[in-house]
Amino acid sequence: MQLGRVVGRVWATVKDPNLNAHRLLVVQPLTPEMQPAGKPIVCTDGTSSAGAGELIYWCGGKESSFPFLPSEVPTNATIVGIVDELQVQRP
Amino acid sequence: MMIGRVIGDVVATHKHESHQGRKALLVQPLELDGSNRGNAVIALDAVDAGTGDLVLLTMEGYSAMTAVDRPNSPIDMAVIGVLDLIEIDGRPAAHFFPAPRDH
């Protein structure tokens, strides 16, 4: 999983039917020091409550479609947690 | 799998139910010379690792969710071992294990 911040949202009228009713959020991946880590991506939302500006963590790959089973949602990135607190201690 | 250092953890109250009851660790993947290899990631803990530990990290879903005993879950990384020794070219890689500081 990786850290990220919700920075936007996209809408699509025409899309794969299995994406219907799923929110599509734009996420900027972040380092633990809150610096951008790569380019923004579009994520489905496995928490169904992640909102603009929130610090989240997301799961990539095939596993990111598992929160929606048995529906086979065509996603490769899904928000799976909303971060309350980070503890970072680098050596 | 990769070598990594646990640099912290993530507290999240609202998360996928399969993540409940497992620590979410911040892990910095490392190169063999000890430098950072890309950005830190979040991995679920299968072996009770803690901050400062040198660990073995799997970055593949099936093995990760099997290790933390959460099949068919949105888990793509897990800490699956705490490393005691690393040997490279026949020599112990001491730079991974700095001597403990006196307190």
Q: Can you give the CATH number for the domain in which A41 is found?
A: 2.40.50.220
Torsion, Cα B52 A27 A54 B78, to 10 degrees, reads -30
Task: Please check whether residue A23 is in contact with residue A52, taking contact to mean a CB–CB distance below 8 angstroms.
Answer: no
Q: Residue B103 pLDDT more than 70?
A: no
Per the domain annotation, does A52 fall within a domain? yes
In this structure, are residues B73 and A66 in contact, taking their beta carbons and an 8 Å threshold? yes
Is A53 part of any domain?
yes
Looking at the domain assignment, is residue B16 inside a domain? no
What domain count does chain A have? 1
Report yes or no on B62 lying in a domain: yes
Which residue, A62, A91, A59, A61, is CA-closest to A78?
A59
pTM for the structure as a whole: 0.91
Asked, for residue A65, whether it belongs to a domain, the answer is yes
Identify the domain containing residue A57 by its residue range: 2-81
pLDDT at B97 (0 to 100): 85
Residue B24: its pLDDT value, please?
A: 97
Residue A33 lies in a domain: yes
Residue A87 at interface with chain B, using a CB cutoff of 8 Å: yes
Residue B28 lies in a domain: yes
Q: Which of residues 14-73 of A touch B (CB under 8 A)?
A: 29, 31-32, 37-38, 46-47, 49, 57, 59-67, 69
Q: Write the CATH number for B56.
A: 2.40.50.220
* Residue A86 resides in a domain: no
Q: What does pLDDT average to over chain A? A: 95
